[in-house]
Amino acid sequence: MPAMLRNLAQRLGMMAHSFVGGIHPPQHKLSAGLKSELCPLAPLHIMPMKQHIGVACSPLVAVGDRVLRGQKIAKSEGYVSVPVHAPTSGRVVRIGDHAIPHPSGMGIPSIFIETDGDDAVDESLAPLADWRSMEPALLRERVRMCGLAGLGGAVFPTFIKLVQDARFPIETVILNGIECEPWLTSDHCLMLEYADEILAGLAIIMHMVKTDAAIIAIEDNKADAAAVLQQALEARDDLADVRVVVLPTRYPQGGEKQLIYTLTGREVPAGKLPMHIGVLCQNVGTTRALYQAVMQGRPLTERMVTVSGDAMPRPGNLLVRIGTPMRHVFAQRGLDVFEQVRLLHGGPMMGELLRHPDLPVVKSTNGMLAMREPTFMAAHQPEQPCIRCGHCSEACPAGLVPNLLADQCRSDQFERAESYNLFDCIECGACSYVCPSHIPLVHYFRYGKGQIAQQRREKHFAEESRGRSEAREMRIEQEKQARAARRSSVRAAHVGQSDDGSADAAGEEKKD
Amino acid sequence: MLLMLSSPHAHGGDTIRVMMLTVILALLPAAAVSVYLFGWLALLLILLCMAASLATEAVCLKLMGKPLSTLLDNSAALTGLLLALTLPALTPWWMAVLGSIFAIVLGKQIYGGIGYNIFNPALSARVILLISFPLQMTSWLVPMSAATPPVDLYDLSTCLTLFFAGPDALKSSLDAISMASPLGHVKTEWTLGVPVEGALAAYNYSYLNAFLGFETGSIGETSVLALLIGGVFLLARHSITWHIPFSYLATVALLAALFNAIDPAHFAPPMFHLFAGGLMLCAFFMATDPVSSPVTPLGQIVFGVGCGVLTWSIRSFGGYPEGAMFSVLLMNCAVPLIDHYCRPRVYGHDGRRV
């Protein structure tokens, strides 16, 4: 009954199927509608061994090796992982740690490639033009080999999402062209310029998950892209059951869970995946990369990046090789002095602050923003006490009560925070955006999640070592009893027996 | 070292200062009516309460080692204004100052300052004053809208004398210049055995006058119209949501209508309840105080209903003629509990699971 009341209270005055909460930040899409440009090759490319969610890769090349564009230079070391490919031809000059665009600022192993300028391509992967007659498993292996990870920014390995489970058939593929982050226009640009390739990629995905139905979702601030895709769709007769749906602009409309609810009226149950309700969500950029992997045999070595911000002399959309130092990309658009400028990786709502521009473009780089110091600091004012206005709760697309959660995280009441569904937070930042007290709510949630994860690891470790020590004590006890039994049965004859026994026990200990 | 800040790196621009200022602006129509009804006396009361609240806040901030710039968040000024509007016009100056000190010290700073108080600061101070000085706090000055006002309240020197020296200095007395409020009148008459309708007729009660605010009462609570204008402004500016005022007023109206239909001699009609006393002021400005009310929409509805039930019950059965402020304060205590049980449904949990 309370659940019903809650539903009713939440849904009063709302359209059917409109996710709860959300905000309307100014769009600032300065680079919208600008034609994409190729970013010239940088003299050096830095390829971090981990550009996806999951396990890091290990290098397959050595210093001094010559590599070709698209050549696999690092292999996956686990299931949730994808390989890394050389972005252009050149020579490996160093393998060592380098910082990546990540809040920790920590370095991770990277391969440094000196560009030779030939841009010679590794042709070893053949195009799979007859994909329609191929088994999904084969195509999926191609997607994995080509290093595809979600290019919307989350960089989850794409092939895993394409795994089929007979219990959960995919009914609908959702193509995510929402791009709800302010400033960013890279997906917008892709949809305008590569509509045919995106649709071709969509057709391959639909073949792989064996469904005829798909929805292409676009926000109404990109009506031109919707029109272009609609037109491209009409030119194809194999995508009859694909609709272009234009949604009202609202952040975070592009969040996977929010988008699925808006389009289907169904929620992804807590702890489950979209697959469990028969939905597969793919970003438009990933879909185009999938087309290139299958139809052209080209691994992921390039992506569309929005270069913008109010400190950016010439905003634009650039096709950038992965591994290109950001300083090189910024310079293409006229920014080479970084004083009084703050750099963001991604959009302002969920992106990270960068310490310096000497970081490589990675697979998750959908945007690089240069913000003026005052603009940036206006969003980061000193925190004041919560006045419980409830605006955070109204803005939360997950139905959480952020101010209470933040209190719990701040005072280390982690069990309570978990019972208030801390882990259902998607870190979209809508709560912090509306907070009149400038409380960094999301920051507290990250802290809380991190602490809980740490506690779980420690608990797990403690349980494991307790189990080990109990097992050891039991073993020693058993051996002692065995020795005693033997001793009593063959009393006088074998005196050295007990020494052997203790040596065995010590050996066991070492094995632990 | 570059300070690392985490996302989001954008902000909507809302501030506590502007939110509080919005509420102050929304109270201006009610304040204007109070000045029309009670002349300089109302203006003196409002200014003194605001000044005393700000001064007390400044002292507290200083003592607690907090920056004085916190004064600029407008919360102390708002508390002073709200307190003044709940006081009778005959409140002497020292009582206004005392009330402001209570509001800031006992109502707010003792809990740790803005954001941490359990009770609405202005209402807690008002209750302390009512219990400490029952005579002065229930003596209602005859307003200038009356047929023959006993004192010319538009005369500054008269008002200064009344405010700082009391009615005795005007060779008058509290009794000579005050009258019963509609709520008080109905309650007293009922204890004497007079039914509600008779009592209202004897009072010359008119719904139109009550709506416009031409009855006596605390200086800022009389005009339903002025308070509604302020309330609609707050709703339009998204300073408050409809949940608390609507559920509060609807509950009072429903209960009043139900019992009035059962026993019209004892129970006043719903319109009377809605227009009388501090209900409108409480519904739009006191119960909606963000700090001391629930954060979730459902919680706000529960809170409003609770306030409504208590207000109507105290008015109908209690010892005091008015119950609005008590009910809001009582419901303030229940806020943490309400917040805990009225959380919104979290995405992907409960029903609608496929």
Asked if residue A428 belongs to a known ligand binding site, the reply is yes
Contact flag A421-B349 (C-beta cutoff 8 Å): yes
How far apart are alpha carbons A50 and A360 in whole angstroms?
A: 12
For B323-339, the pLDDT digits (tens) are 999 999 999 999 999 99
Superfamily of domain A135-295: NADH-ubiquinone oxidoreductase 51kDa subunit (3.40.50.11540)
The pLDDT value recorded for residue A490 is: 80
Window 108-127 of B, Cβ < 8 Å to A: 112-116
The single-letter DSSP state of residue A391 is: H
What is chain A's mean pLDDT, rounded? 90
pLDDT of the residue at B176 = 83
Tell me which residues of chain B, numbers 178 to 217, contact chain A at a CB-CB cutoff of 8 Å. none
Residue A390 clears pLDDT 50, i.e. is over it: yes
- Buried (b) or exposed (e) across A492-506, using 16+ Cβ within 10 A? eeeeeeeeebeeeee
Contact between A399 and B297 using a beta-carbon 8 Å cutoff: no
pLDDT of residue B4: 63
A438 to chain B: which residues are within 8 Å by CB? 11
Q: What ranges in B290-334 are assigned the alpha helix state H?
A: 297-317, 324-333
- Residues A60-92 pLDDT 10s: 999 999 999 999 999 998 999 999 999 999 999
Distance from CA of A430 to the nearest CA of B (A): 8
In this predicted model, which residue has the larger pLDDT, A105 or A464? Answer: A464
Q: How many CB atoms lie within 10 A of CB B327?
A: 27
What ipTM was estimated for this complex? 0.90
| Residues of chain A positioned with their CB less than 8 A from the CB of B346 | 270, 398-400, 421, 424
Pick from B2, B9, B70, B340 the residue to mutate for testing the A interface (most A CBs within 10 Å). B9
How many A-B residue pairs are in contact by the CB < 8 A criterion? 181
Q: Which residue of chain B is at minimal alpha-carbon distance from A377?
A: B9
Architecture per CATH, A41-117+301-377: Roll (3.10)
pLDDT for position A495: 55
Task: Answer whether B14 sits within 8 Å of A432, measured CB to CB.
Answer: no
Distance between CA atoms of A37 and A317, rounded to whole angstroms? 6
Strands A341-345 and A57-59: unpaired
Cα-flanking dihedrals φ and ψ of residue A213, to 5°?
-105, 135
- A431: nearest CA in chain B? B8
* A409 carries a ligand binding annotation: no
Q: Cis ω on the peptide bond leading into residue B8 (within 30° of 0)? A: yes
Measure CA A128 to chain center.
27
DSSP for A162-187 reads: T---TTS---EEEEEE---SSS--HH
What is the average per-residue pLDDT within A211-218?
A: 94
Q: Which residues contact B191 (CB under 8 A, 6 or more apart)?
A: none
Q: How confident is the model at residue B170 (pLDDT cuts 50, 70, 90)?
A: confident
Cβ–Cβ below 8 Å for A433 and B343: no
Q: Per-residue pLDDT for B72 more than 50? A: yes
The residue whose two tokens read 């970003």 is A283
Instruction: Looking at the complex, report in whole angstroms how far the Cα of residue A341 sits from the nearest Cα belonging to chain B.
Output: 12
pLDDT above 50 (res A503): no
Q: Does B6 touch chain A (CB under 8 A)?
A: yes
Query: Is A505's pLDDT higher than 50?
Result: no
Considering only CB atoms, which chain B residues are within 8 Å of A403? 295
Q: Exposed, middle or buried, A49 (CB in 10 Å: 0-12/13-18/19+)?
A: buried
**pLDDT, tens digit (0-9, with 9 covering 90-100), for A106-158:** 889 999 999 999 999 999 999 999 999 999 999 999 999 999 999 988 899 99
Model confidence at A2, pLDDT cuts 50, 70, 90, reads very low
pLDDT in tens, A271-305: 899 999 999 999 999 999 999 999 999 999 999 99
Per-residue model confidence as pLDDT tens digits over B204-257: 888 999 999 998 999 999 999 999 999 999 999 999 999 999 999 999 999 999
Percent of chain B at pLDDT exceeding 90:
76
Tell me the C-alpha distance between A269 and B321, whole Å.
Answer: 52
Q: Which residues of B touch A397 (CB under 8 A)?
A: 347
CB contact under 8 A, B14 and A434: yes
pLDDT of residue A67: 96
Among B11, B115, B348, beta carbon nearest to A387: B115
What pLDDT, on a 0 to 100 scale, did the predictor assign at position B353? 33
Contact assignment for B343 to A420 by CB distance below 8 Å: yes
Domain boundaries, chain A: 41-117+301-377, 135-295, 381-488
**What distance in Å separates the CA atoms of residue A18 and residue A263, rounded to the nearest whole number?**
8
Contact residues, chain B, for A435 at CB < 8 Å: 11, 14
Residues in chain A within 8 Å Cβ distance of B287:
none
Q: What percent of chain A has pLDDT over 90?
A: 82
